[in-house]
Amino acid sequence: MSLSEALSFTEPITEPDILADIEALPAEDELPWDDGEPTETPRHREQMEVLIHSLQAHWSERRNYYVGGNMFLHYDPQSRRKFRGPDFFLALDVEERERKSWVVWQEGMWFPDVVIELLSDTTRHTDKGEKKTLYERVFRTGEYYLYDPHSQEFVAYHLQGPHFHYEEVKPDAAGKIFSPTVGLYLFVQNKWLRWMTPEGVVLPTPMELADQERQRADQERARADQAEQLLAEYRRRFGNLE
């Protein structure tokens, strides 16, 4: 098997000569990882962070996964400039470490299991055409979602059948789409694409968790103050407790 043939498969590679050839390929420190271009709008950036950070908080005890966004994903060892930068992607069963970019041949030929692209007027055509074809036929990414943070357009594709082709998945009656890979629903709430558990709990972001904790602390202080006031009133009327 040649190197080019090996890189066309997603099964583990064990042949020593092929592994040696892969070791000789450029690694993430040798490849571009930032084009200096910001995300489309502040809304796009915030939406990306909501999806990433809420999932990370929910999976705080989980290991061996990687979730990233707007970072280079290198998939062609023949070209340093051939890459994509999904707004959100998730890969399961991978080494837990920090990365500058995702280099497929460094990851045991592992492509993302889930990709979410945030639509805009400048990316809509590519996201629905060229990228969809790439993720379906080359990456074989199991789940591909598209969401427009401004219009709230939400489309989902899951890889189906023996020939691995995308079929559109329609939302349920409540507007939710289940992600089998993540084990959670995706749905739009107040113009934001959010994760939801099967029990109906919306995954909070770390900021929302901090706000919830502050509210609980404020409620505890209020209850403690009320109890102290009641005790003071009791003592005023009946004297100290024995």
HEC states along 105-159? HHHCCCCCCEEEEECCCCCHHHHHCHHHHHHHHHHCCCEEEEECCCCCCEEEEEE
pLDDT (tens digit per residue) in 192-215: 999 999 999 999 987 776 666 666
Same domain, 7 and 117: yes
**What is the pLDDT, as a whole number, of residue 170?**
97
Same domain, 79 and 194: yes
Q: What percent of the chain has pLDDT over 70?
A: 74
**What is the pLDDT, as a whole number, of residue 83?**
82
What is the sign, positive or negative, of the torsion defined by CA atoms of 117, 37, 96, 11?
A: positive
Q: Is residue 145 scored above 50 in pLDDT? A: yes
Distinct helix (H) and strand (E) counts, the chain: 6, 12
Type of residue at 193: L
Domain of residue 157: give its range. Answer: 3-203
Neighbours of 57 (CB within 10 A): 15
Same domain, 217 and 133: no
Tell which residue, 45, 58, 40, 28, has the closest CA to residue 208.
58
Same domain, 170 and 198: yes
Region label for 41, one of left (φ > 0), alpha (ψ between -120 and 50) or beta (otherwise):
beta
Instruction: Give the span between the Cα atoms of 115 and 109, in whole angstroms.
Output: 16
| pLDDT bracket for residue 58 (50, 70, 90) | very high
User: In b/e form, how buried is each residue of 90-111, taking b as 16+ CB within 10 angstroms?
Assistant: bbbebeeeebebbbbbbbebbb
**What is the pLDDT, as a whole number, of residue 46?**
95
Report the number of distinct structural domains present in the chain.
2
Same domain, 242 and 147: no
| pLDDT bracket for residue 3 (50, 70, 90) | very low
**What is the pLDDT, as a whole number, of residue 203?**
96
Q: Is residue 56 scored above 50 in pLDDT? A: yes
pTM over 0.95: no
Same domain, 74 and 138: yes
Same domain, 192 and 213: no
Q: Are 140 and 111 in contact (CB under 8 A)?
A: yes
Same domain, 226 and 116: no
Averaged pLDDT of the chain? 83
Same domain, 132 and 189: yes
Same domain, 89 and 171: yes
Q: Is residue 4 scored above 70 in pLDDT? A: no
Rounded average pLDDT over 67-94:
88
Residue 72: CATH number of its domain: 3.90.1570.20
pLDDT (tens digit per residue) in 156-204: 999 998 888 999 999 999 999 999 999 999 999 999 999 999 999 999 9
Same domain, 119 and 231: no
Q: Is residue 36 scored above 70 in pLDDT? A: no
Same domain, 113 and 211: no
Q: Is residue 130 scored above 90 in pLDDT? A: yes
Bridge partners, residue 66, by sequence: 91
CA distances from 210 to 41, 62, 141, 196, 204 (A): 26, 20, 34, 19, 9
**What is the pLDDT, as a whole number, of residue 1?**
45
